[in-house]
Amino acid sequence: MIKPIPPAFLYIVGALFIPFFKGRLKPLYLLSVSVIAFINLFFMEAGTRWVHPFLNYDWIFLKVDRLSLIVGYIFILIGFLAILYSLHVKEDGQHAAGFLYIGSSLGVIFAGDYFSLFIFWEIMAVSGVLLIWYHRGKESLDAGFRYLLMHFFGGSSILIGILIHAYSTGSMIVGPLENSWASLFILIGFGLNTAFIPLHTWLPDGYSEGTVTGSVFLSVYTTKTGVYVLARCFSGVDLVAYMGGVMALYGVIFALLQNDTRKLLSYHIVSQVGYMVAGVGIGIPLGVNGGIAHLFNHILYKSLLFMCMGSVIYMTGKRKLTELGGLAKQMPVTCLTCLVASLSISGAPGFNGFVSKGMVLSSVVEAHKPILELLLFLASVGTLLSFTKLCFYTFFAKNQTIQTKEAPWNMQLAMGATALLCIFYGVYPQALFNLLPFPPVSVHPYSTSHVIGTIQLFLGAGVVFMMVRSAFSPLEGMVLDFDYFYRMAFRGIAWLADVAFNGLRLRVQTAFSRRIDGVVRLSRDPMLIFERIIAYFQPNVEGFYNPETGRSKIDEPIYDENWYRKPMGLGVLLAILMLFIYGLIYILQSKMG
């Protein structure tokens, strides 16, 4: 029997061979890697492991159970569709970055130890930022640097937590964490990738500046790996559950304020991930199943939304709602698939979002958390209003200035296939229930009360939009989020470093350099010691006293151009001195020991 291969390695190694394929062979190669990865995963069973011992440590690159399997399936499936969507891209670097991004995300999902998880986590951050930088604009460059800074902060927090956890428990197996300093640091790092408020600003900032195809990849993996590790390590934590409610409502409020189409979609990632986090945080089987089911469905409709808006941007060059309109007839496939995705994310009956969102809300009711239920309900209303606004101003508002055509065939095919999956899992949810981590799943999503309640919600939101449509009109300008407070904080840090600390350094250096100057002069001419003594007792002796400054000539500093031109020399001198003292102490301790 052939031993299964960690899916991460297929993509990471596969990225190395992309430049060697040309012409018609390249699309076949790009798609075949996902097909091989899916077949490889299909034959894995719960309990499969792939362990590699190295330096007295067992690296667990593959640990399979029902939770990792369902997330692995959807990651590979949407990876195939995202690659199909991007086949027209000529740059090998973009394809390689996408492969590394998919592979590292799968590495996190199947990692059985924290060090393996951390390594893939950091590869995911670096490969993700490449999909932003390939846009090659100042805005994307700046957004990419901010993305890296935030994710390196999160990665550092995870590493600190892992080291504390390893020291205190002696175990590195990925699993539920107890309430401790280690779990706090790890939760901060996981929460940043999951877009916890207020650690979420990297998401709308970066995803809106990625390439047309890169943003499709970005919309899938980073936040969903965050949800996965929360389900693995922090299931049943009330703080996590209520953070999910805050994310759901906060994200939808800021989405309603956006004019940039991809920024609107990015804030809805924050909101929809909030539903998943709430389900995982509740911790009961229905909640975790609902959160993971929503992760599965969200990946389908959210990637489809980014595909649709990416097609609009690719064909028109416009990304703001105030610049769009009238595209329904010119881009019918994009319009139709966008409507499917919008109905799915809004939770309309017959679409996949209806099933999983209902599971999460039912788990909140079962867990008796009325405040969390209210937050998620308000977020549902805002979601419906947001996508009514997006579809209307993109496809149906009057705009006679845009003349375009439908997107390339590969983009249309990817959108159509993803839309069909949104409908399939909405009409036949049992196919999804069979994959969930806690079987059996005894959920009846199409109960009369659930369907009627959803229809009432749609009718009410539709009436509100038509009555006060002007209130939802897209507006020019940028809406500042927590970025404002980050900017103020970093300006304060910059002032503190440049003005306060640098000023103190200069004063200390000037004072110290005068003392060093005296030592250097004494080392050059030891007879100055006797002259200094004479000058102290008889300061007015001719030759030792300067009547212009009122000071002894010995105490007057000598201007040395090299001394002030090369201030690092002082730092080197001090470093050597400290190293010598450290070595001396170490030798003395060794002798005494």
Whether the Cβ atoms of residue 245 and residue 197 lie closer than 8 Å to each other: no
Specify whether 149 is located in the same domain as 276: no
What's the 3-state SS for 160-222? HHHHHHHHHHCCCECCCCCCCHHHHHHHHHHHHHCCCCCCCCHHHHHHCCCCCCHHHHHCCHH
Q: Is the pLDDT assigned to residue 213 strictly greater than 50?
A: yes
For the chain, how are helix, strand and coil distributed in percent, rounded to 5? 70, 5, 25
Specify whether 247 is located in the same domain as 338: yes
Specify whether 555 is located in the same domain as 521: yes
User: pLDDT tens across 450-505, in order?
Assistant: 899 888 888 887 787 777 776 667 777 677 788 777 777 777 777 777 777 777 77
- Give the span between the Cα atoms of 217 and 306, in whole angstroms: 9
User: pLDDT tens across 524-553, in order?
Assistant: 555 555 555 655 555 555 554 455 555 554
How much of the chain exceeds pLDDT 70, in percent? 85
DSSP string, 237-287: -HHHHHHHHHHHHHHHHHHHT--BHHHHHHHHHHHHHHHHHHHHHH-SHHH
- Give the span between the Cα atoms of 68 and 332, in whole angstroms: 37
Give the pLDDT band of residue 38 (cuts 50, 70, 90): very high
Specify whether 241 is located in the same domain as 339: yes
Specify whether 297 is located in the same domain as 438: yes
Q: What is the pTM of this model?
A: 0.84
Number of domains the chain is built from:
4
Domain that holds residue 533: 485-561
Give the pLDDT band of residue 507 (cuts 50, 70, 90): confident
| Nearest alpha carbon to residue 331 among 399, 263, 403 | 403
**Single-letter residue type at 233:** C
How many alpha carbons lie under 13 Å from residue 142 in its C-beta half-sphere?
Answer: 5
Please provide the average confidence, as pLDDT, over all residues in the chain: 87
Question: Cα 24 vs. chain centroid, distance in angstroms?
Answer: 34
Specify whether 226 is located in the same domain as 333: no
Specify whether 194 is located in the same domain as 320: no
How many residues in the chain? Answer: 593
Q: What mean pLDDT comes out for the span 397-418?
A: 94
Last residue of a domain, one of 187, 204, 232: 232
**Single-letter residue type at 28:** L
Specify whether 451 is located in the same domain as 399: yes
User: pLDDT tens across 356-366, in order?
Assistant: 999 999 999 99
**Continuous segment of H or E residues that includes residue 551:** strand 551-552
Specify whether 19 is located in the same domain as 124: yes
**Token couple for 166:** 């390893």
- Give the span between the Cα atoms of 104 and 6, in whole angstroms: 11
Last residue of a domain, one of 192, 215, 232: 232
Task: Quote the DSSP letter at residue 545.
Answer: E
| Nearest alpha carbon to residue 457 among 397, 385, 514 | 385
Last residue of a domain, one of 202, 232, 262: 232
Whether the Cβ atoms of residue 62 and residue 49 lie closer than 8 Å to each other: yes
Specify whether 526 is located in the same domain as 417: no
Specify whether 115 is located in the same domain as 203: yes
Q: Is the pLDDT assigned to residue 518 strictly greater than 70?
A: no
- Give the span between the Cα atoms of 240 and 242, in whole angstroms: 6
Specify whether 438 is located in the same domain as 465: yes
